[in-house]
A and B are shown apart, each in its own frame.
Chain A
Amino acid sequence: MSLRVEHLGVVYRDGDHGVLALDDVSLALEPGRCLALVGESGSGKTTLGKACMGLLPRNAEIGGCILLEGRPLDLEDEAAMNRVRWSAVSMVFQSGAANLNPVHRVLDQVAEPLIQNQGAKRAGARERAAEALEKVGLERGLHGRYPHQLSGGQAQRVLLAMAGILDPEVVLLDEPTSALDAASKTFVARAIREMKAAGKALLLISHDLEFALYQADAVAVIYLGQIMETLPASELLSNPRHPYTLALGRSYPAMDTVRDLGGIRGDAFYRIVHRHGRDNGGVAPHTHIQIPGSSHRDGHPPPTGCLFQNRCTQAISACSHGEIALEEADGHRVRCLRGGIVRLLRMEGVSKQYDAVRALDGVDLEVKAGEVLSLVGETGSGKTTLAMTAAGVLRPDAGTRVFDGEDMDGWIRRDYRSLARRIGVIYQNPAEAVSHRFTVLDAVAEPLRIHGLAGGREDLEERVKRRLQDVHLSTDPGFLERYPHELNMGAIQRVCMARALVLDPGLLVADEPTSSLDPSVQAKIMKLLLHLQAEMGLSLLFVTHDIGLARKISDRIAVMLAGRIVEIGPASMILHAPGHPYTRLLLESAAGRLPEIPPRMEAAEDPGSGCAFAPRCARRTGACLSLAPLLAENGPRQVACHAPLPEG
């Protein structure tokens, strides 16, 4: 049996206005498949579940329809809904014990639907209920208990047993795991697997992304009552298309997450519906967006456009106009004006030669909006050259660079200043990067002065102070007049960060920004950098030789060797299962282990045209010496190796 939700809209009415909880949501639950619905709290996940059960409160106004097996459910008709509820569609409610009747034993509560709906005999019903409870891992000794005598996890299992007791074809699970520890989750996971195998259609409402990733087949990402993206579950963390999905993934502590948690900047809105023109000063009925804690009178952002615009890393002015529809894009459906996460910077075949040294050899690299991409590799591998080429500081000998959809070389020739405004650079040596004749104020104000963006001394100081606050530096006049040699290295690097960020760039290129700092200062600077990256929605291209540091901050890592990228992909994958022997060497050296000793090179073997790592590689073959391997797809990453390391 399938359940389809079509153009479902729900407004919780409250006097002359209402809160819009669901807006034009369409979903299909197919037999034998599990659809996960993920999103932050307040996004309307539970409302959707309750709507399918006909359990919305009286003040809810419902639009659109819910079809069970092709027939619309009449949500107003209590009698009809009663026949459907539990026997055809059931729901596992959130926060276990609160949904159980405190004055009945749990066994009786699980048995009750059997007696009520199927007219079963009491003894038989209790026996079946006991079997159902055992199946979810609750032993018989606990069956006679009252809900308050059970732990949260046990109560959750009671609800699970109850939802399945009438063998419904559609099961809605509302946050079944949020109160459970990792071990108890496996009971839920097993129950879901069994129900799927039995051909039931499942909706898993969850903010537990990893659970959704492994249990569901497809995922719908919901934000403020709108579906933002639907995608295959396997791509939830590795290949999201909507900036919101990426941000959700970055906030979630998955087991193979290696970087520090990012969070999503800003706060979600409420959506308020006004419709009684007469009572509302003649204002036409309209929907608007309201920030939590503010009132309608405070004014509000434009009512149209993308709901995620204020928190998005790639919003443009067009994002605040019109309705944005869900668009199909290879297996994903994405509600984004820009067609999903954009590639802020794209470089193809970039080469750079310094006299006899080939610093970059046909490198392709993309930086997506809002991501942290680290370039790691040994000294002389071309990391800094690549980063500075990306920043527009160095001109490559060959290859194309595209920044935000425009050819960068043409842009530089035409109007370098407008490009410079969008790219900030932080250098390795902060003390050298600020003129010793500049005060803190002068240093941070420099980009504003270059671009003539400050209107007078006060405005300039105001903007400088705001940035200094962002980097946690003092803003008192005495500090503004300090010179770099009066500050410690950490403080100068913060000044440099403030300077790089004062123009609100889209891309920040950081070249070993902490390598001259001691570890405690480095930790503070990196935390700050990541915080600002998330808050400002920056894309960060981070150059480091320290793969341990890259591990803590990166969404993706590119490993460079001799002017080429030898491996690039999601940070967790590169770190847990390196595909290139060079990556493994970096990881092992970082962990203090001695790398394998490669076979001795024969004098006749010339590594000139082959893989640059061949002389140090324990796995090299004849092919490695004669032919340089190209980057090839290897799961979600790319590896340039003739014999990549097996996964795991």
Chain B
Amino acid sequence: MHVDRGQLRRDPWFLIGLGLATVFGLLALLGPPLAPFDPWDMRFAPISPPTGHHWLGVNDGGQDILSELLFAVRNTVAFGLLSGMTSLVLGIVAGLASGWYGGVLDAFLMRLSDVLLAVPAIMILILTAALFRPDPWVLALILSGLMWPTVAKTIRAQTLGLKGRLHVRAAVQMGGGGGYVLRRHLLPEMFPLYLIGFSAKARMAMFMEASLAFLGLFDPSRKSLGMMINYALQFYYLDVWWHWLLPPVLCLSFLIMAVTFLAVALEKVMDPRLRASAEVGP
């Protein structure tokens, strides 16, 4: 699997995606110091339009919307990154193990992933969140536990293909054990798959986080894009949509666009054989 870096650098999808991702990354990192006010501070005049002081106005609870938005982006990005990373790691481990060792392990892992794929993740999350009110990080981990099978299946398919490749067989002939071959021949070979898997999962997780928050299943004091949209929608009869509803909607959209564009760009430069097997859907 070879990535043509030059082609990537000229690809508008990649450039836009990278630009958006950089902006949101910076916002997430620098959110608290950038925020003009404490987002939990309720001392401002509720439901006021943007002013020089409050660029995006104040919400019904008397909190600065811009500060709220910065904290919400941070939470959503963190949720997405954690879920994406965890499901990627789980998927890689399960996929490599099934593909390389095969046999009973492979059968078990693949049947397990079939089961997990058949379960609607959103239902499990809603039920868990509603019944147990867990920490958002725990929810992120549960989501990862539900999302890894697609990554694992892709990695497994690729491992099976690589297993038959001559350089891998040669390494085995030379006495290279499973650990060596996985480390030197298989893991580096599938790098683009990780990016695609990660972006798909991160996007799914961010969307999921927003949905759960929108449904009010998180701690109400936790700042979240979904919750902001929910509250803003309750005041849609006032003329607040453009400064209260639109910013979180745009942020969510651009976040999801950023990872999607990156995934599409990477997918385009990759091996055509892989394009069919790599999963990019929501």
Which residue of B165, B167, B168, B171 contacts A450 across the interface (Cβ within 8 Å)?
Answer: B171
Cβ of B180 and Cβ of A450 under 8 Å apart? yes
Cβ of B167 and Cβ of A420 under 8 Å apart? no
Expressed in whole angstroms, the minimum distance between the Cβ of A415 and any Cβ of chain B is 10
B176: A residues at CB distance < 8 A: 446, 450
Interface of B is mostly: helix
Any chain B CB within 8 A of the CB of A479? no
Stretch at the interface among A102-110, A433-441, A528-536, A563-571: A433-441
Any chain A CB within 8 A of the CB of B166? yes
Cβ of B174 and Cβ of A446 under 8 Å apart? yes
In the complex, residue of chain B having the shortest beta-carbon distance to the beta carbon of A420:
B175
B166: A residues at CB distance < 8 A: 427, 429, 432-433
Those of B173-190 within 8 Å (CB) of chain A: 173-177, 180, 184-185, 188-189
Cβ of B175 and Cβ of A421 under 8 Å apart? yes
A437: B residues at CB distance < 8 A: 188-189
Any chain A CB within 8 A of the CB of B2? yes
Cβ of A435 and Cβ of B167 under 8 Å apart? yes
Expressed in whole angstroms, the minimum distance between the Cβ of B29 and any Cβ of chain A is 32
Any chain A CB within 8 A of the CB of B238? no
Cβ of A417 and Cβ of B175 under 8 Å apart? yes
Cβ of B170 and Cβ of A427 under 8 Å apart? yes
Which residue of A419, A423, A435, A451 contacts B185 across the interface (Cβ within 8 Å)?
Answer: A435
Bound form: Cα–Cα A421–B184 in Å = 19
B165: A residues at CB distance < 8 A: 432
B180: A residues at CB distance < 8 A: 450
B185: A residues at CB distance < 8 A: 435
Expressed in whole angstroms, the minimum distance between the Cβ of A354 and any Cβ of chain B is 14
Bound form: Cα–Cα A451–B173 in Å = 12
Cβ of A433 and Cβ of B174 under 8 Å apart? no
Cβ of A393 and Cβ of B173 under 8 Å apart? yes
B169: A residues at CB distance < 8 A: 393
Those of A379-394 within 8 Å (CB) of chain B: 391-393
Expressed in whole angstroms, the minimum distance between the Cβ of A282 and any Cβ of chain B is 50
B174: A residues at CB distance < 8 A: 420, 446-447, 450, 499
In the complex, residue of chain B having the shortest beta-carbon distance to the beta carbon of A391:
B173
Cβ of A433 and Cβ of B175 under 8 Å apart? no
Which residue of B2, B171, B175 contacts A416 across the interface (Cβ within 8 Å)?
Answer: B175
Chain B residues touching A, range:
10 to 19
User: Which of B166, B169, B172, B175 has the most chain A CB atoms inside 10 A of its CB?
Assistant: B175
In the complex, residue of chain B having the shortest beta-carbon distance to the beta carbon of A427:
B166
Bound form: Cα–Cα A537–B169 in Å = 26
Bound form: Cα–Cα A432–B171 in Å = 12
* Residues 31-42 of chain A, each 1 if its beta carbon lies under 8 Å from chain B, else 0: 000000000000
Bound form: Cα–Cα A499–B168 in Å = 14
Any chain B CB within 8 A of the CB of A425? yes
In the complex, residue of chain B having the shortest beta-carbon distance to the beta carbon of A503:
B174
Those of B140-170 within 8 Å (CB) of chain A: 165-170
Expressed in whole angstroms, the minimum distance between the Cβ of B5 and any Cβ of chain A is 14
Expressed in whole angstroms, the minimum distance between the Cβ of A212 and any Cβ of chain B is 43
B170: A residues at CB distance < 8 A: 425, 427, 433-434
The interface size of chain A toward B, counting residues with CB under 8 Å, comes to: 24
Cβ of B2 and Cβ of A436 under 8 Å apart? yes
In the complex, residue of chain B having the shortest beta-carbon distance to the beta carbon of A431:
B166
A446: B residues at CB distance < 8 A: 171, 174, 176, 184
Those of A130-149 within 8 Å (CB) of chain B: none
A420: B residues at CB distance < 8 A: 173-175
A450: B residues at CB distance < 8 A: 171, 174-176, 180
Bound form: Cα–Cα A392–B175 in Å = 11
Those of A397-444 within 8 Å (CB) of chain B: 416-417, 419-421, 423, 425, 427, 429, 432-438
A432: B residues at CB distance < 8 A: 165-167
In the complex, residue of chain A having the shortest beta-carbon distance to the beta carbon of B168:
A435
Cβ of A451 and Cβ of B189 under 8 Å apart? no
In the complex, residue of chain B having the shortest beta-carbon distance to the beta carbon of A426:
B170
In the complex, residue of chain B having the shortest beta-carbon distance to the beta carbon of A430:
B166
Which residue of A427, A438, A447 contacts B175 across the interface (Cβ within 8 Å)?
Answer: A447
Bound form: Cα–Cα A227–B211 in Å = 92
A433: B residues at CB distance < 8 A: 166-167, 170
* Residues 443-458 of chain A, each 1 if its beta carbon lies under 8 Å from chain B, else 0: 0001100110000000
Bound form: Cα–Cα A381–B100 in Å = 30
Bound form: Cα–Cα A434–B185 in Å = 10
Expressed in whole angstroms, the minimum distance between the Cβ of A423 and any Cβ of chain B is 8
In the complex, residue of chain B having the shortest beta-carbon distance to the beta carbon of A415:
B175
Bound form: Cα–Cα A436–B188 in Å = 11
In the complex, residue of chain A having the shortest beta-carbon distance to the beta carbon of B174:
A447
Cβ of A434 and Cβ of B167 under 8 Å apart? yes
Bound form: Cα–Cα A538–B174 in Å = 17
A393: B residues at CB distance < 8 A: 169, 172-173
Bound form: Cα–Cα A494–B191 in Å = 29
B172: A residues at CB distance < 8 A: 393
Bound form: Cα–Cα A427–B171 in Å = 12
B184: A residues at CB distance < 8 A: 435, 446
Bound form: Cα–Cα A451–B174 in Å = 9
In the complex, residue of chain B having the shortest beta-carbon distance to the beta carbon of A421:
B175
A434: B residues at CB distance < 8 A: 167, 170
In the complex, residue of chain B having the shortest beta-carbon distance to the beta carbon of A425:
B173
Bound form: Cα–Cα A427–B167 in Å = 10
Expressed in whole angstroms, the minimum distance between the Cβ of B163 and any Cβ of chain A is 13
Bound form: Cα–Cα A450–B168 in Å = 13
A499: B residues at CB distance < 8 A: 174
Bound form: Cα–Cα A597–B2 in Å = 51
In the complex, residue of chain A having the shortest beta-carbon distance to the beta carbon of B181:
A450
A391: B residues at CB distance < 8 A: 173
In the complex, residue of chain A having the shortest beta-carbon distance to the beta carbon of B180:
A450
A451: B residues at CB distance < 8 A: 175
Expressed in whole angstroms, the minimum distance between the Cβ of B204 and any Cβ of chain A is 30
Expressed in whole angstroms, the minimum distance between the Cβ of A395 and any Cβ of chain B is 13
Expressed in whole angstroms, the minimum distance between the Cβ of B83 and any Cβ of chain A is 29
User: Which of B176, B177, B185 has the most chain A CB atoms inside 10 A of its CB?
Assistant: B176
A438: B residues at CB distance < 8 A: 167
- B residues adjacent to A (C-beta < 8 A): 2, 165-177, 180, 184-185, 188-189
- A residues adjacent to B (C-beta < 8 A): 391-393, 416-417, 419-421, 423, 425, 427, 429, 432-438, 446-447, 450-451, 499
Interface pairs A-B: 10 shortest CB-CB:
A420-B175, A432-B166, A417-B175, A435-B167, A450-B176, A433-B166, A447-B174, A433-B170, A393-B173, A450-B175
Q: Knowing that A392-B173, A429-B166, A446-B171 touch, tell me 12 more A-B residue pairs with CB under 8 angstroms.
A: A417-B177, A419-B175, A420-B173, A420-B175, A433-B167, A433-B170, A435-B189, A436-B2, A438-B167, A446-B184, A447-B175, A450-B175
18 contacts between A and B (CB under 8 A): A391-B173, A392-B173, A393-B172, A393-B173, A416-B175, A417-B177, A423-B173, A425-B173, A433-B166, A433-B167, A434-B167, A435-B167, A435-B168, A435-B184, A435-B189, A436-B2, A446-B184, A450-B175
